[in-house]
A and B are shown apart, each in its own frame.
Chain A
Amino acid sequence: EAQVTQNPRYLITVTGKKLTVTCSQNMNHEYMSWYRQDPGLGLRQIYYSMNVEVTDKGDVPEGYKVSRKEKRNFPLILESPSPNQTSLYFCASSLITQGEMNTEAFFGQGTRLTVV
């Protein structure tokens, strides 16, 4: 079954304690992305990756890091979480065809993070 898997689904942590949210896809997609969803703001892109070892900032990258060492995995790292990073996070992947991305994004089920 084609899917994007995020872990954990729920996480409560304290300010400053490093954490990693994992994301894995089994569709051999080149493009992967992280979003955060906040009430009234929709989805905002944090980072994206167009292939292995190729990553770039989205609209709200401050306080986050990513890596893409393998095609299937795209972890999101919060080195020193703060309460304003409390949010619902989604990982997504897409196929790039003929140098363009005009196909649907496949989303994970989300990670609800609370930083106290």
Chain B
Amino acid sequence: GNSVTQMEGPVTLSEEAFLTINCTYTATGYPSLFWYVQYPGEGLQLLLKATKADDKGSNKGFEATYRKETTSFHLEKGSVQVSDSAVYFCALIDGGFKTIFGAGTRLFVKA
């Protein structure tokens, strides 16, 4: 079945460091891919998305590129801030009506 695998956390970085959170997926078709972010005490909110191969989603300095050949959608940011501390979820919709989420990766950014 379809699935999403994220790197385990927590990830701890110093402010202004480069961030990569790996995400790979298994899907039978051509899924739409998403990154959601969950700040403490809140629900998930969309960070960025890509709906076809080679698309790049971007928002708030975060980027992810839909790589069909490696079935990956890694999240990157060039310079993280303390305010980026949160849990990040990779997710896919496989053309049906179900969103499949990864387990989430907690990010801590130290000042």
Instruction: Write the nearest CB–CB distance from A17 to chain B, whole angstroms.
Output: 26
SS class, residues of chain A in contact with chain B: strand
Q: A45–B99 Cα gap in the complex (Å)? A: 9
User: Would you give the 0/1 interface string for A30-49, flagging 1 where the beta carbon is closer than 8 Å to chain B?
Assistant: 01010100001111010010
Query: A94 contacts which chain B residues (CB < 8 A)?
Result: 99
Chain A interface residue bracket vs B: 20 to 34
Of all chain A residues, the one with the shortest Cβ separation from B8 is: A40
- Chain-A contact segment, one of B11-19, B37-45, B63-71, B72-80: B37-45
Which residues of A sit under 8 angstroms from B96, Cβ to Cβ?
Answer: 101
| CB–CB B93/A102 < 8 A | yes
Given contacts A102-B51, A104-B49, A109-B42, contact A42 B103 (CB under 8 A): yes
- In the complex where A90-B44, A109-B42, A110-B42 touch, is A100 in contact with B95 (Cβ < 8 A)? yes
Interface residue ranges, B against A (CB under 8 Å): 32, 34, 36, 41-46, 49, 51, 89, 93, 95-99, 101-104
6 more contacts with CB within 8 A, not counting A90-B43, A107-B45, are: A4-B43, A42-B89, A45-B99, A92-B43, A92-B44, A94-B99
